[in-house]
């Protein structure tokens, strides 16, 4: 039996490989996947507890999963199936957006939950896993369709992928030796530590899986507002004509967090804000915002257009780092009424750490559409407000027509697309204040998903897991996207590692970052938006 979602063809980059059926791929219309088994490697970790278990339950609650759907938790912890089911039930009751779990739905979901105990580096554990999956195919009718989710630290990816290949689990074969069902693997960010390691990781993944089997997950791309960007851009005739350098003055992408490192000091001190946010979330938001209309609304064409944007982004050169970037680190302060210790006082953080918890940088897209429009990206921890947004500032009106009436300067129009926490779109424009005279004030036209629709927005992981089961890669990252994103910021990381590229600035927790970040925009006659 062949993969019903695939046909042989070209992937748009000159490579012969299977691509998904154009009648299904990218259109995202068929929301019920085929019966399948999802194997979670590292199933007793925090990701499964907080995100994967609630997402799968909500998909079952919404009627998006077939009755045969099966989950196999694969981890080294000594548990039996009942204990693992209880662990998932507690996770759902604690973290699901629909809680507590509805008994009838949970009972149906729990019938398909199993646990496979074993070390992730033990070849025999994978041999036994293969036998278990064959038994599940027979007993539950999952037809050899498997989704492997690597919910483990990235350093374990090569080992697990190699073991899956050695056990024959990368391509399932039936008793007659023929290919049966589909096999896909999901890997979490970060995809590498730098450009060289990202290339090495892609090579290691492709030694076992083909590119169309690999789903690199970035949960920001599963958020409703990010998905709505394409509809907003290409489904409304009034915006696309002004989405270019003739009308747009500048763009700001903000990913701000109020929390510190939250007990992840050891991980974060080796990663920093540039690797943790900018290389993946930030540049993916940029590419989604700035891409040209695809030929068709399907995964291959959407991802091709995103790659075109990233190829047009000028990498920051080693000698440009000091002029185009600012890095900062928070010291003690107050956030939302709570005292936050200095980053260097956090557990598992080096007392002399030079890791940046704040990054601001100026980028440029050398394309016909965006030439001359600066793109400012900033991210930080322990800031004033938790918000992720893309803010488009339009050019001012060409004539100060109302200057004689006492309005010499009118604020420029701004279109802000909020990704989180209050997903929606805001348009800021000038309006006359009622009354005598001609007083102009800036007002907001504010659309919010929560108040405009009678349904809750699904969690990003719900959308992405369902897409992976269906075989729709629209919201997942391709290998060349990952490598190009690293190319853009790789020399910045090298300069900082060498103690060059400008000093490390300090900022108090609960502020909007170091003053040097404001100066980065002030040199261009602009200022950061305060969401």
**Which residues are identified as catalytic?**
281
What six digits make up the tokens of 102? 């509805």
Instruction: Give the span between the Cα atoms of 233 and 306, in whole angstroms.
Output: 14
Residues near 370 by Cβ (< 8 Å), separated by ≥ 6?
A: 244, 245, 290, 312, 364
Query: Nearest Cα to 444, choosing from 357, 341, 531, 325?
Result: 531
Instruction: Give the span between the Cα atoms of 242 and 249, in whole angstroms.
Output: 11
Q: Is the peptide bond before 320 cis (omega within 30 degrees of 0)?
A: no
**Exposed/middle/buried for residue 71 (C-beta within 10 Å: 0-12, 13-18, 19+):** buried
Element spanning 496, H or E = helix 479-497
Task: With H, G, I as helix, E, B as strand and everything else as coil, classify residue 74.
Answer: strand
Query: Nearest 5 degrees, angle CA 501-CA 507-CA 512?
Result: 100
Sign of CA dihedral 414, 418, 422, 423: positive
Element spanning 329, H or E = strand 325-331
Instruction: Determine contact, residues 250/398, Cβ cutoff 8 Å.
Output: no
Instruction: Give the span between the Cα atoms of 517 and 256, in whole angstroms.
Output: 14
What six digits make up the tokens of 173? 């074969």
Query: Nearest Cα to 184, choosing from 483, 463, 461, 472?
Result: 472
Query: Nearest Cα to 60, choosing from 462, 419, 478?
Result: 462
Instruction: Give the span between the Cα atoms of 7 and 321, in whole angstroms.
Output: 45
Residue 352 to residues 142, 321, 359, Cα–Cα distance (Å): 53, 22, 19
What six digits make up the tokens of 424? 């929606």
What six digits make up the tokens of 220? 């920001």
Instruction: Determine contact, residues 255/400, Cβ cutoff 8 Å.
Output: no
């Amino acid at each position: 039996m062949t993969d019903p979602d695939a046909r042989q063809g070209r992937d748009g980059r000159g490579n012969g490989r299977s691509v998904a059926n154009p009648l299904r791929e990218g259109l995202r219309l068929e929301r019920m996947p085929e019966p399948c088994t999802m194997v979670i490697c590292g199933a007793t970790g925090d990701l499964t507890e907080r995100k994967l278990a609630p997402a799968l339950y909500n998909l079952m609650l919404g009627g998006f999963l077939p009755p045969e759907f099966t989950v196999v938790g694969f981890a080294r912890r000594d548990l039996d199936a009942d204990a693992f089911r209880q662990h998932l039930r507690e996770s759902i009751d604690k973290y699901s957006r629909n809680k507590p779990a509805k008994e009838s739905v949970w009972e149906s979901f729990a019938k398909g939950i199993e646990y496979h105990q074993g070390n992730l580096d033990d070849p025999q554990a994978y041999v036994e896993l293969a036998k278990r999956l064959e038994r599940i195919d027979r007993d539950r009718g999952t037809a050899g369709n498997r989704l492997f989710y690597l919910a483990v630290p990235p350093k374990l990816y090569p080992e697990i992928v190699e073991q899956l290949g050695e056990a024959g689990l990368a391509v399932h074969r039936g008793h007659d030796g023929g290919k049966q069902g589909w096999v896909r693997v999901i890997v979490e960010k970060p995809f590498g530590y730098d450009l060289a390691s990202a290339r090495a990781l892609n090579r290691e993944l492709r030694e076992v899986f083909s590119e169309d089997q690999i789903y690199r997950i970035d949960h920001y791309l599963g958020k409703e507002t990010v998905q709505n960007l394409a509809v907003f851009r290409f489904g409304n005739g009034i915006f696309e004509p002004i989405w270019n350098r003739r009308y747009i003055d500048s763009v700001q992408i903000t990913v701000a967090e109020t929390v510190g490192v939250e007990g992840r000091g050891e991980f974060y001190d080796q990663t920093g804000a540039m690797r943790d946010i900018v290389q993946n979330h930030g540049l993916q938001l940029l590419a989604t915002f700035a891409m040209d209309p695809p030929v068709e609304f399907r995964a291959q064409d959407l991802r091709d257009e995103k790659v075109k944007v990233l190829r047009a982004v000028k990498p920051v050169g080693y000698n440009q780092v000091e002029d185009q970037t600012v890095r900062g680190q928070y010291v003690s302060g107050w956030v939302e009424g709570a005292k936050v210790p200095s980053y260097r006082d956090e557990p598992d953080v080096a007392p002399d750490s030079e890791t940046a918890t704040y990054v601001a940088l100026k980028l440029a897209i050398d394309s016909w559409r965006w030439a001359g429009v600066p793109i400012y990206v900033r991210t930080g921890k322990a800031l004033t407000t938790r918000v992720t947004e893309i803010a488009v500032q339009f050019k001012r009106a060409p004539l100060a027509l109302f200057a004689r009436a006492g309005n010499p300067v009118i604020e420029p129009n701004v279109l802000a697309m909020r990704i989180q926490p209050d997903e929606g779109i805001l348009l800021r424009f000038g309006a006359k204040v009622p009354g005598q005279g001609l007083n102009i004030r800036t007002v907001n036209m504010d659309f919010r998903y929560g108040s405009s629709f009678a349904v809750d927005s699904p969690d990003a992981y719900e959308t992405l897991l369902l897409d992976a089961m269906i075989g729709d890669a629209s919201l997942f990252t391709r290998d060349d996207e990952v490598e190009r994103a690293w190319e853009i910021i790789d020399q910045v990381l090298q300069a900082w590692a060498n103690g060059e590229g400008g000093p490390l600035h300090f900022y108090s927790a609960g502020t909007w970052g170091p003053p040097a970040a404001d100066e980065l925009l002030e040199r261009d006659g602009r200022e950061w938006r305060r969401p």
